[in-house]
Amino acid sequence: MVNYRILSVLLFALSGSGLSDALFAADYKIQQQAMIDAIQNDVIETSIYIGKKAFDPAVMKAMASVPRHEFVPDNQKSYAYENRPLPIGYGQTISQPYIVALMTDLLNLSKEHKVLEIGTGSGYQGAILNELTPQVFTIEIIEPLAKRAIATYKRLQLDNIQVRTGDGYFGWEEHAPFDAIIVTAAADHVPPPLVQQLKNGGRMIIPVGSRFFVQQLVLVTKDSEGKITTQQILPVRFVPLTGKH
């Protein structure tokens, strides 16, 4: 079995002797395919919870297209395609790829949908969403992370993703209502402002629970008449949502 992390370290060590960028790119693609395989295995293993044995092909295409190594710190690049969360500074993490794919899949996005993300982090989840719809709005409360994500989006020419620094608990009323909302940090309740900004017929995915107890990934749906229903999907672990609330 190939140890992809060791392979990446070896390639980095060889770079000083003239190893081409193309070889690095090929190595990342190998690792990315291994990540996709790991996600597919996790889908099968958790099918009893999520009610399916495969994600939407469009979601998996997005996961196979967005370069995760561009969204992690330099000292984490050799781990970028491992199917686990990674630290990105300021006590925050980039989520496990399987969880990113799962939460994206649960939104049922299409090209005409407008989506709000609470917790920009490194920008990776927003980039995945952008593969499915050009209308992505994302809020990050930690200013240095928001600035870093903006710079990454600019470098990768993802110019249509709109980033704001602020408290995501209160949503982004200026651009509401949203067809979908994704929250990438755990709250102890579903924020009422986000429910209000969710369009009738919309879906929100959010981890609910405290840092020290079991959190549940919760799917919130609003029907055509504005009635709210919730469904627990599976146990998860996220950093807590922060802010004045």
Residue 1 has pLDDT above 80, yes or no: no
5 — pLDDT class (breaks 50, 70, 90): low
- pLDDT confidence of residue 210: 84
**Strand duo 86-89 + 228-236: pairing:** unpaired
* pTM for the structure as a whole: 0.89
- Tell me the mean pLDDT in the region 102-125: 98
- Tell me the mean pLDDT in the region 148-163: 97
Question: Of 139, 124, 144, which is closest to residue 80 (Cα–Cα)?
Answer: 124
Residue 17 has pLDDT above 70, yes or no: no
- pLDDT confidence of residue 213: 80
- Tell me the mean pLDDT in the region 17-26: 57
Beta bridge partners of 236: 215
Domain boundaries, the chain: 4-236
Residue 23 has pLDDT above 90, yes or no: no
Segment among 54-58, 91-95, 157-161, 209-213 with least mean pLDDT: 209-213
CATH superfamily of 4-236: Vaccinia Virus protein VP39 (3.40.50.150)
pLDDT tens sequence across 25-48: 778 999 999 999 999 999 999 999
- Gap between the Cα atoms of 61 and 67, Å rounded: 12
Give the residue numbers marked as catalytic. Answer: 95
Sequence-separated (6 or more) residues with CB below 8 Å from residue 7: 27, 30, 31
Question: Of 108, 97, 115, which is closest to residue 56 (Cα–Cα)?
Answer: 108
